[in-house]
Every structure is written in C-alpha cells, then in structure tokens.
C-alpha cells in the first residue's frame, strides 16, 4: 500500500537534487563569464549590486532605464512577496470552469475544472462561498455556520468539495472562487463560478408531534415520532428550546440520536418552547412547529437534579415527631375501611375501586381476596387445584416464612412436563396461616403477563398445601446480579428494567399495588426475562427480611418505600414507581444495597432533606434521570409505568442515547475544592469500608479528597483495586464526593 508513494517521492527527491546541482554549475559558469561586471541595459536587471551578471527581464516585466535592480510588472500582473525577481510577473487566475453538482442521498458534491488561465502560477487554490436564497433574488443571506465542507471550505487544492449538513427544501447558491498567490493584489473581484442547488430532492421530512413524556422541576423529557421516510438515514435530531418569557432572545440547542431527549438544567415551574428538526446526510428538515411545556414546581422535590447527593444525616429532626402524629392519624382513618367489607361477587368486586384505581369498563381489574368473607372462595375462583400425583418434588431451593420452596416438575395431561417451583406450607399451621399462605395464590392467579410470575395451581385438598408456580431458572434478581457483577451490557440491563416496568404497568392497569417491589422480589429466567413475584400485600411485608417496623406499627422495607407510604401508609402505583426507581438503582449497580450501610433512620431523614441516591458507576445519564424522576417527593409528579416502558423502549431502540454516562458529565472545575480537604483519605476509606486500599491511594499520590473526587473508574483500577465490587463501591463514593463538591460550589459554601 505504501510502496508507490515512497517510490515516487524518492524519484522526486533525486530529480530535485539533480536540478540544484545543475543550477549551482550554471551560477559558477555565469560568475566566470565576460559580462560579469557590466551595467544593465533596459529590459535587463541586476538584483544584487556588484560584480554580477545582468538578467533579461522575465515575462510580463519590464525595465526602462539602465542599471535596473528589478523589472517591474506589467499592468494587471503582480509579483508576490516571496516571488524572486527572476520570476515572471503573474496575475490572478480566471474563474473555475464546468462547475457541476451531484446531490445524492448522502451528500452534495461540487466539482469543477481548473481555470483556463492559471495566471502563470502553480499555487492555485479555491474557496467556497455559500448563500441561501429565498424565492426572490434579493433574499439571499450567507449560509449559517452549520454547513460542513469536506475537506474544507477555504484553500482547497483539488477541484471538488463535499458539502454536508445542509437543510432539505432549501435553495443554496455556491460560488467557487479561484485564487493564487497574487489574487489579493488585484483590485478586481475574484472570478467565480456559480451554481444554485435546490435540496428539495431526498431531504428528510418533518418529525411527528413533539410529546412531553414527563417533567420534573428541572427537566423535561420529550419524544417524537421518527419521520417515516428514511428513518435509517437519520443522523440525529436537533432540539432548539428557550424560556417562553424570553421569547427567542437566546436559545439553547442540543442533539440526540434517539427520537427522545431529556432536557435538564431548566428552571422550576417555567414554560419552555421546543422545536425539533432532523438531520440526514441529505440535510436538515425544517423545524417542527413550536411546542410549549412547563417544568413542575418546587425544586426541593427532586434535589438531585441540582446535583445534590445523598449524605448521611444523623441529626434528629423535630418534624419527624409530626410525621409520627400524622401517621397515627392516617392509620386510624385508613383502618376504618376494614369495617366496610361487604359480601360481593368477584364481578361486583371488580367494579369497585381497587386501591383507589378506577377501572375502565371491559378492562380486567384485580380483586382483593380480603374482600371475600370466605377467602377459600377467592382461592377457588382464581386458582386451579392440582392433583399432587402430577407434581414431582426434586430439591429444596429456599425457605419461605410458611415453609420450604422446592424445585420440581409438573405433568399436565396432553402437555409437556414443565419445571416448577413449589412453595409448601409446613405442618402445624393454624387456619390464619393457611389463609395468608393461599392469599398469594389468589392474587397471582388473577394475572397473566410474561413479566409476572405465573401460577400453575395449588394443592389444597391434601397435605402439604402447596402453591405451584413456573420455575424461573436464575432465581432472584439481586443475588443473580451480585453473582454476575459487570457481566452485562447496558442494553441488557435496560432490557431487564423494561421487563419489570412492563410487569408493573400490567399490575397498575389491573389496579394492583405491589408495596414490596425490590430486586429480591423479582425472578430472572434463562433469557434474562424478569418476572415480578412475591404478592400478598401485608403478608409480603411480614415475610420480607428487609421490612422494618415503623413507629406506626407497620412493617415496611424502608429503603425501597416512598416517603408517603412510610409516613402514613399511602401505598399507590405512585409509591410503586418510587420502588421501581430503587430497583433501577439496584440493577444498574449490580445488586448493591441501596443507601449502603446507612441506618433506616438515616435513610428516612436524608430523603426528607431532599437527598437522593447518586448514579451507580457506569450508569447512563438518561437512566439516572429516570430514577430521580421516580423519586420525586410529590407523588403525582412521578412517572406512570406506561411512561417508563415507552421511555425505556426508546432507549433500547436508540442505544446511542445510553452512551453519555453520569461520570462523564460531572467534571469538576479546575479550582480545587478545599472544602473537602479537611477529611483524610483514611477516614473516607474507613467510612466506605475500603481501608485496605489506603496505601494504594497514597502510593499513587491521591492524598486529598479533592484529588480523589477527580478520579475516573480507570484511575481506580490503575491504582490496584482489582475486585469489581470494590471498584464499584469506591467509584460510587467518588461520585458522591464529586457531587458534594459541585453542590457546595453551587451554593458558594466554603468550610
Ligand atoms: N425461588 C422462589 N421462587 C422461584 C421460582 N419460581 N423459580 C426459581 N426459584 C425460585
């Protein structure tokens, strides 16, 4: 590949050397000739005084008198600054010829022939000028800077240029000017060749309606439909936006490859105007009409949008007492509902509000088995009785509150034998325990969705009483992720999250509130399909080792639960959305414990103060934004499951939207954050239980927290933190430090 150029350049070098040697010989001969000391005649010149020969004026030059030191140029000819006196005077080139354009799907190529008159020079170049013209000839203006020229716009040496990023449906006039080393000396306009190109052909069409997916105090998520024509040819979208009250005074713009975007850094409770255009290789579309959307109020709702981060808050807050009082109040009022349980058929029950959910006619809704006076009735209605002879128990795979969980096989006449998990009710139970145990089956039996664990049936007519469900090969999501730390692509993780969101959407459409959504309550099959499991309302919480007793007497998994559900047991699909955000965090951190070693009490107080979990290591910005959105204090501001599903779908369809990672955008300003330096590296490592790496940090020169806050994941690896779990924990804490520094600098706070 390199042979030819090397060969030609060697030849050229040899030729140039030969020329230099010949010139040197001539010079020696000239110096020794008889005319050596004569004065120059008109038409001759002698550049250097002394005993040198006179030279004939080169072409387009003249000298009138005797003894000229230089020949002057004829009118219209020039000598460039670096041209030697012996060189002919030259002139600007004529215009390029035969200018043609070629507009194809990918680019606009302009080509031309060199000018017929190069002006006697070899330093010919071309410049491209572009004007965009309206229907009338006087409506031209210079093209905006958005046009891209390959290889460049000015100083082209080849007679061709490729133009990119132009708008479709527009008229462009391109002028190609030819120049050489004396063009600037001429007072005449540079000669040009002109062509007008209409980009109507092959341009992208407009995108569809610009829809708001959700808004928070500082962000708005938008999405739109891809244009039907050439969606594959879309390079990206440009979103232009400005604050409505500043009407076009200044605007911001951003690009995205996905047909969706989250615009951050907005002001709370403020109207913004948005429009979008597509960019294909054939140019830009026009902008969509303007759409106006408003951010939600109260920036304290979602403090993390401002870069706040979870910190350990240990002070007791007087307001907590108020919460306790409120909780008692709501507990009492909430309890009243228990007295209104009436005897109803399941159809009647369906038409009643479930968990505050108003069912739509024709849409199946969930029936709370507790609304049956006789819970056995609900079991009959929603489950199938299995003959125990069809079940083969193989091994114990776990232990539940009511008894062992086993794996086994289930035979069904006329069907293939399937793998099942069997939950058993251990002997010696009382009637209440039997009822609570079967309650889960009555709930599960009402669901039919690929992301919800499927009930095969129950055994109630013989002992042991059993619940038989589909077998899910990889077990619970939290331990599965911990065992496979760092093994999945972001797309695979988002695929799992999408499945969970889809299951949760199904549940909320049915009017069912899970109350204990957490990675430990999700099962993963061999295709990484996630299935929401562990149903049973209050019983679920009794069974959950994470659930802690609150001052209100309820048992609640604090780290996963929305503040209003902790404070006054306001469980709803919106509180499930909060838990979903925590599950997202668990998934993206491969099963890390939310809020690490913090006590439940500190978690409650920190959340109340507005702090939120920082993004896990390697987490795309879009996903952390979604988590923050799920953790909005005001529950009506949280996303609906359907929004989450469609948002994740868009991310999956456009993986490039996942490329921007939180750590990439949280770079610190150059000025040192002295406010961190009063904490030693040792104390910091102790606090995250990573003291064993103190010497690694010191040896690598990281001896202030400010320097640590600037570390990348790579740096953490480089200093010898080999275990991925440890890298993850340190990186997570580095990010926390970084956010703290940013936050304190924002506040202008210095210790
Ligand atoms: N552990 C609990 N339930 C399970 C199931 N359905 N499949 C596999 N493991 C389980």
Q: What is the pLDDT of residues 271-300, one digit of tens each?
A: 999 888 887 766 677 777 788 999 988 644
What's 57's domain CATH number? Answer: 2.10.50.10
Single residue among 645, 661, 677 that ends a domain in this structure: 661
Q: Is residue 633 part of a domain?
A: yes
671 pLDDT band (50/70/90 cuts)?
Answer: low
Structure letter (DSSP) for residue 357: B
* Ligand 1 near 418 CB (within 6 A): no
* Ligand 1 near 444 CB (within 6 A): no
Q: Whose CA is nearest to atom 4 of ligand 1?
A: 421
Same domain, 3 and 82: no
Single residue among 661, 692, 718 that ends a domain in this structure: 661
517 pLDDT band (50/70/90 cuts)?
Answer: very high
Same domain, 479 and 492: yes
Out of 410, 456, 476, mutate this one to test ligand 1's pocket (max ligand atoms within 8 Å of CB): namely 476
Same domain, 639 and 492: yes
* Ligand 1 near 262 CB (within 6 A): no
Q: Are 467 and 406 in contact (CB under 8 A)?
A: no
For 535, residues 6+ apart whose C-beta sits below 8 A from its C-beta are 440, 443, 444, 512, 514
What's 378's domain CATH number? Answer: 3.30.200.20
Number of domains comprising the chain: 6
C-alpha pair distances (Å), 125 with each of 134, 159, 191: 30, 8, 12
Residue 156: pLDDT above 80?
Answer: yes
Q: Whose CA is nearest to atom 3 of ligand 1?
A: 421
Residue 343: pLDDT above 50?
Answer: no
Q: Whose CA is nearest to atom 8 of ligand 1?
A: 472
Average pLDDT, the chain: 79
Question: What is d(CA 359, CA 348) in angstroms, rounded to the nearest whole number?
Answer: 12
Q: Is residue 749 part of a domain?
A: yes
Q: Is residue 576 part of a domain?
A: yes
Same domain, 539 and 571: yes
* Ligand 1 near 166 CB (within 6 A): no
Same domain, 373 and 466: yes
The residue range of the domain holding 188 is 97-199
Known catalytic residues are 516
Q: What is the pLDDT of residues 163-199, one digit of tens each?
A: 877 776 677 889 999 999 999 998 888 899 998 887 7
Same domain, 567 and 674: no
* Ligand 1 near 471 CB (within 6 A): yes
Same domain, 540 and 503: yes
Same domain, 42 and 11: no
Q: Whose CA is nearest to atom 9 of ligand 1?
A: 475
Residue 422: pLDDT above 80?
Answer: yes
Q: Are 431 and 465 in contact (CB under 8 A)?
A: no
Mean pLDDT for 118-135 is: 89
Q: How far is the CA of 421 from the centre of ligand 1 (A)?
A: 5
Higher-confidence residue of 454 and 289: namely 454
* Ligand 1 near 477 CB (within 6 A): no
Q: How far is the CA of 475 from the centre of ligand 1 (A)?
A: 5
* Ligand 1 near 455 CB (within 6 A): no
Report for 203-207, 535-539, 648-652: range of highest mean pLDDT = 648-652
Same domain, 386 and 457: yes
The confidence score (pLDDT) of residue 484 equals 93
* Ligand 1 near 472 CB (within 6 A): yes
Tell me the pTM: 0.55
Q: Is residue 212 part of a domain?
A: no
Same domain, 570 and 513: yes
The confidence score (pLDDT) of residue 28 equals 40
The confidence score (pLDDT) of residue 123 equals 93
638: left (phi over 0), alpha (psi -120 to 50) or beta: beta
Q: How far is the CA of 471 from the centre of ligand 1 (A)?
A: 6
Out of 533, 534, 540, mutate this one to test ligand 1's pocket (max ligand atoms within 8 Å of CB): namely 533
Same domain, 101 and 142: yes
Q: Is residue 331 part of a domain?
A: no
C-alpha pair distances (Å), 670 with each of 163, 513, 662: 38, 48, 19
Q: How far is the CA of 444 from the centre of ligand 1 (A)?
A: 14
Structure letter (DSSP) for residue 661: B
Q: Is residue 83 part of a domain?
A: yes
Q: How far is the CA of 532 from the centre of ligand 1 (A)?
A: 11
Q: Is residue 274 part of a domain?
A: no
The confidence score (pLDDT) of residue 677 equals 58
Range in 29-43, 229-243, 659-673 with the lowest mean pLDDT: 29-43
Single residue among 180, 199, 218 that ends a domain in this structure: 199
What's 506's domain CATH number? Answer: 1.10.510.10
Is 423 part of any known ligand binding site? yes
Question: What is d(CA 739, CA 309) in angstroms, rounded to the nearest whole number?
Answer: 6
C-alpha pair distances (Å), 612 with each of 56, 152, 595: 86, 48, 9
Residue 14: pLDDT above 70?
Answer: no
Q: Is residue 141 part of a domain?
A: yes
Q: How far is the CA of 523 from the centre of ligand 1 (A)?
A: 7
Same domain, 622 and 699: no
């Amino acid at each position: 590949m390199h042979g030819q150029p090397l060969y030609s350049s060697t030849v050229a070098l040899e030729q140039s050397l030969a020329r230099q040697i010949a010139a040197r010989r001539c010079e020696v001969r000239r110096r020794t000739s008889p005319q050596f000391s004569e004065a120059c005649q008109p038409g001759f010149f002698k550049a250097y005084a002394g005993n040198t020969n006179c030279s004939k004026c080169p072409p387009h030059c003249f000298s009138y008198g005797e003894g000229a030191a230089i020949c002057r140029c004829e009118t219209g000819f020039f000598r460039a600054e670096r041209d030697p006196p012996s060189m002919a005077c030259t002139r600007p080139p004529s215009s390029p010829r035969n200018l043609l354009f070629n507009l194809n799907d990918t680019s606009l190529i302009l080509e031309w022939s060199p000018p017929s008159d190069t002006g006697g020079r070899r330093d010919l170049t071309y410049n491209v000028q572009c004007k965009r013209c309206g229907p009338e000839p006087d409506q031209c203006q210079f093209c905006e800077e958005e046009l891209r020229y390959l290889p460049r716009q000015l100083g082209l040496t080849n007679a061709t240029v490729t133009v990119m990023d132009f708008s479709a449906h527009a008229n462009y006039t391109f002028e190609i000017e030819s120049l050489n080393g004396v063009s600037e000396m001429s007072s005449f306009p540079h000669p040009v060749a002109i062509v007008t190109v209409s980009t109507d052909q092959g341009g992208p069409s407009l995108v569809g309606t610009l829809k708001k997916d959700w808004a928070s105090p500082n962000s708005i998520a938008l999405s739109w439909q891809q244009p039907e024509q050439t969606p594959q040819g879309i390079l990206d979208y440009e979103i232009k936006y400005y604050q409505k009250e500043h009407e076009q005074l200044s605007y911001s713009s951003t690009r995205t490859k996905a047909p969706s975007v989250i615009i951050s850094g907005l002001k709370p409770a403020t109207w913004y105007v948005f429009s979008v255009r597509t960019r294909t290789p054939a140019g830009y579309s026009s902008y969509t009409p303007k759409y106006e959307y408003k951010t939600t109020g109260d920036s304290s709702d979602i403090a993390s949008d401002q870069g706040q981060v979870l910190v350990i808050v240990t002070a007791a807050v007087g307001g907590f007492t108020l919460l306790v009082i409120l909780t008692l109040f709501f507990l009492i009022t909430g309890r009243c509902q228990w007295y209104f349980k009436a005897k109803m058929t399941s159809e009647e029950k369906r038409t009643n509000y479930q968990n505050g959910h108003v069912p739509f006619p024709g849409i199946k809704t969930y029936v709370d088995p507790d609304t049956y006076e006789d819970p056995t009735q609900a079991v009959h209605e929603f489950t199938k009785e299995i003959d125990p002879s069809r079940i083969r128990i193989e091994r114990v795979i776990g232990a539940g509150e009511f008894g062992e969980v086993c794996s086994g096989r289930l035979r069904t006449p006329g069907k293939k034998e399937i793998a099942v998990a069997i939950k058993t009710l251990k002997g010696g139970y009382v009637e209440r325990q039997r009822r609570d145990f079967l309650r889960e089956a009555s709930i599960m039996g009402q669901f039919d969705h690929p992301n919800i664990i499927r009930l095969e049936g129950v055994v109630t007519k013989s002992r042991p009483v059993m619940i038989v469900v589909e077998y899910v090969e990889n077990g619970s999501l939290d331990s599965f992720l911990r065992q496979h730390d760092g093994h999945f692509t972001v797309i695979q993780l988002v695929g799992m999250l999408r499945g969970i969101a889809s299951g949760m959407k199904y549940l909320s459409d049915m009017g069912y509130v899970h109350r204990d959504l957490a990675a430990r309550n999700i099962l993963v099959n061999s295709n990484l399909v996630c299935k929401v499991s562990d149903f049973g309302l209050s019983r679920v919480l009794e069974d959950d080792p994470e659930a802690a007793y609150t001052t209100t007497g309820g048992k609640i998994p604090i780290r996963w639960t929305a503040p209003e559900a902790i404070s006054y047991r306001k469980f709803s699909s919106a509180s499930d959305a909060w838990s979903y955000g925590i599950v997202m965090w668990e998934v993206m951190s491969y099963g890390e414990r939310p809020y690490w070693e913090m006590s439940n009490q500190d978690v409650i107080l920190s959340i109340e103060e507005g702090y939120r979990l920082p993004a896990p290591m390697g987490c795309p910005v879009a996903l952390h934004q979604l988590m923050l959105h799920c953790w909005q204090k005001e529950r009506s501001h949280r996303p609906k499951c359907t929004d989450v599903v469609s948002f994740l779908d868009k991310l999956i369809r456009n993986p490039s939207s996942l490329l921007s990672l939180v750590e990439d955008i949280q770079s610190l300003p150059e000025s040192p954050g002295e406010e961190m330096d009063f904490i030693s590296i040792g104390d910091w490592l102790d606090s995250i239980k990573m003291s064993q790496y103190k010497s690694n940090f010191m040896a690598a020169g990281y001896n202030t927290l400010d320097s640590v806050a600037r570390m990348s994941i790579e740096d953490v690896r480089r200093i010898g933190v080999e275990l991925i779990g440890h890298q993850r924990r340190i990186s997570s804490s580095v990010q926390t430090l970084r956010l703290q520094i940013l936050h304190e600098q924002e506040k202008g706070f210095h210790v």
